[in-house]
Structure 1
């Protein structure tokens, strides 16, 4: 199915959605951890900024709606009940319609987002303003929104993605081989090492927004999500690297991400590469990322994970019979985990 095969027309948002509202006043800080998504003005993860336990007898925001962030216009279809961030101008806006369902929800969310993406912190969306916005939709022979086409197109796209991932997971499994039985983590011998005993530590380079050039190269900043990628640039400098751990020492200190691709690193991120180059592999570095992040609880904005503290940070690592870091164990441990995960994914897709 092709979008170009259809006739399209514009509609006001309040023509398509008969209920436009905001959640009741609530903040995620009022809740303890749970399994209900808390939807706020986030631009990723379907707008979920936490998973919470509702209060006694609290009524959830019903599923089957589109949430809009007034801060940046991000739109997401919500297939399950949730706790919506309410109170204040930055609370989310909820769009509901009897024509909305799981089959066409993402299509409509994307259509809305094409209009709402113009909003920003200095020019936030309002409920009344959203109502007047116009969106472009495919129409049927009666010049009405063609909800059936939207549903069919979305289903076809999902099926294509499904098959693509199925083939990808099978290919990854074939490359990983068969799992190897290992000593459990709690039965393996461990020993402490200073970080600079096992890693070469290199700095990033400051790159201001004014100096950034458009491009496709990941730029790694001191964030705690998106694998550390804060944008894409066309610049080149001495921070350019690949197959390394990027470790934040500012912003969100102690967060570590593995970067297999060529990227630039900000001056808030250190680049860690194993001194033992023969074991500086994807799986070992993924294992190491979790080890490094075990230490992040002691650091904060006021007690930075700076270069001197980073070098003298002790890391507890599994060791071999010679008392050296057991990189072979780390490699196979991650392989076993990935095999387990891919098998679970395939079982899920098979259902």
Structure 2
């Protein structure tokens, strides 16, 4: 696929292109019944195209929470979330952006571009209709300076057609994995394994641009939300970071291979043992499962809770943690992933 030349894309103010509308937070969100044949329910989340589940359309109508028409870009109110919604949907606490010239393909194109811009927003610097209206982004445009809807739609359509063809080729890649028997694994308190520390607050206004990773309560990019020059409260490489707060990110665990600053939404786990990268990745999965299953935005994984929570790990015959097994097992998983990536490169 030929890459787009973006050097000539002009700056465009979103408020000159889109009509924005705020969708209030639904007071009855938890009461809305699931319906596998219903409509998508959209919240401000960076997961699953912002769709949390499918709900009853009729229930929304009966309870004065009318469905939102499709062909809209959905944006977060307090989180840097963005997606294109083709079909009618229910929603809570999101902002929609519309233009009658936008179709499915151009909408997905613009949502992808917007994804690079909305990361500047944080919980301390929340987005909103006014900020979105005044946000300036770069898009392909016609000579009169208006967006080139045809180019955006045609380009994304080619991407979809190309991807569909490649998906058929992916069937040749092995997806079989042997299940791990965990019946003999033993539970260990996190405080036995790690010295757990709390991150340090750093507001966006006080950040200095640099090359030090700033770890926040993010689901992606190894938790990195910015790069800073501030160095007063750095943590060393060879540690784990765990988001204890965040909408949908609670428990997200990453291995950090260079020194970093962790926000106050993050706990840092200093190992009390020799932790290789492979062991760290193995344990991160176990920690993440506990955080995901027990905690959330309304029930934060506080420091005192985390220290007493347990994870199950493989053990040797004497009942001690089998570090060698974890190191070898994760090494095997990584090697298998590299093999699949090579196969993907051959296809792509």
Normalised to the residue count of structure 2, the TM-score between the two structures is 0.63
Q: Is the Cα contact below 8 Å between 1:119 and 1:125 reproduced in 2?
A: no
Q: Is the Cα contact below 8 Å between 1:213 and 1:235 reproduced in 2?
A: yes
Q: Is the Cα contact below 8 Å between 1:41 and 1:92 reproduced in 2?
A: no
1:108 is aligned, of 110, 135, 150, to: 110
Distance in 2 (alpha carbons) for counterparts of 1:116 and 1:256: 21
Give ranges in structure 1 of 5+ residues lacking alignment. none
1:201 is aligned, of 172, 195, 200, to: 195
2:262 is the alignment partner of 1:265: yes
Q: Which residue does the alignment assign to 1:318?
A: 314
Q: Is the Cα contact below 8 Å between 1:38 and 1:82 reproduced in 2?
A: no
Q: Secondary structure at the match of 2:30?
A: helix
Q: Is the Cα contact below 8 Å between 2:243 and 2:250 reproduced in 1?
A: yes
Q: Which residue does the alignment assign to 1:81?
A: 87
Distance in 1 (alpha carbons) for counterparts of 2:111 and 2:300: 42
- Rate the CA distance shift 1:335–1:144 in 2: closer, same or farther, 3 A: same
Distance in 2 (alpha carbons) for counterparts of 1:261 and 1:33: 42
Q: Is the Cα contact below 8 Å between 1:193 and 1:314 reproduced in 2?
A: yes
1:329 is aligned, of 320, 325, 345, to: 325
- Rate the CA distance shift 1:249–1:136 in 2: closer, same or farther, 3 A: closer
Q: Which residue does the alignment assign to 2:232?
A: 237
Q: Is the Cα contact below 8 Å between 1:72 and 1:118 reproduced in 2?
A: no
- Rate the CA distance shift 1:34–1:234 in 2: closer, same or farther, 3 A: farther
Q: Secondary structure at the match of 2:241?
A: strand
Which has the larger Rg?
Answer: 1
Q: Secondary structure at the match of 2:84?
A: strand
Q: Is the Cα contact below 8 Å between 2:49 and 2:84 reproduced in 1?
A: no
2:275 is the alignment partner of 1:275: no
- Rate the CA distance shift 1:261–1:63 in 2: closer, same or farther, 3 A: farther
Distance in 2 (alpha carbons) for counterparts of 1:133 and 1:267: 28
The Cα RMSD (Å) is 5.3
Q: Which residue does the alignment assign to 1:125?
A: 129
Distance in 2 (alpha carbons) for counterparts of 1:24 and 1:313: 36
Q: Is the Cα contact below 8 Å between 2:215 and 2:223 reproduced in 1?
A: yes
Alignment: residue pair count? 318
2:73 is aligned, of 66, 75, 98, to: 66
Query: Residue 245 of structure 1: CA displacement?
Result: 1.3
Q: Secondary structure at the match of 1:185?
A: coil
Q: Is the Cα contact below 8 Å between 2:11 and 2:139 reproduced in 1?
A: yes
